[in-house]
Amino acid sequence: MRTLKVIVSKAGKGISAHLPEVDGYFIARSSVEKLKQDLPSGLLFHIEGLHEEERADWMNETFSFEYVFSDIPTLIEGYSGLINQSSLARISGINESLMRQYVAGIKRPSHSVTVRIEAGLKKYAEELKSISFA
């Protein structure tokens, strides 16, 4: 199974995505949820439209997706209603005022800060996975 990177970026009032391994395929939707829902069928439709010589070997097999966000504002926009800048600041241990500047695009986080935010999100996801009800 091939895992394809999906590069997600802010686009107007929604988000857009492209797959570096698939020339010419772009998708735009209002939310990450809608993008994740429509991406598999849209990609299959795109692959079916390719000439045989344009198809890579992996295109005839099953594949999964890894979502890579271009920046913090895209993440917040894509998951609006589920995560906000205050919760992201708490999860990642970053000052809330600084997080607001990242989300507004006033400042860009350094690579180490981006890694810290990603690690915080993954740790939080693991905590959520461990929850159960009696």
Residue 19 has a pLDDT of 95
Question: In the CATH scheme, what is the code of domain 1-70?
Answer: 3.30.2390
SS3 (DSSP) at 103: helix
- The predicted-structure confidence for 33-48, as pLDDT tens digits, reads as follows 899 999 999 999 999 9
Helix axes 85-92, 111-129, angle to 10 degrees: 90
68 near 114, Cβ under 8 Å? no
CA distances for 17 relative to 74, 83, 116, 129, 134, angstroms: 11, 20, 24, 27, 40
Q: Is the pLDDT assigned to residue 17 strictly greater than 80? A: yes
Mean pLDDT value of segment 110-116: 93
* pLDDT for res 36: 93
pLDDT bracket for residue 81 (50, 70, 90): confident
DSSP reduced 3-state for 108: coil
Q: Pairing state of beta strands 2-11 and 63-69?
A: parallel
What type of residue is 126? E
Domain positions in the chain = 1-70, 83-134
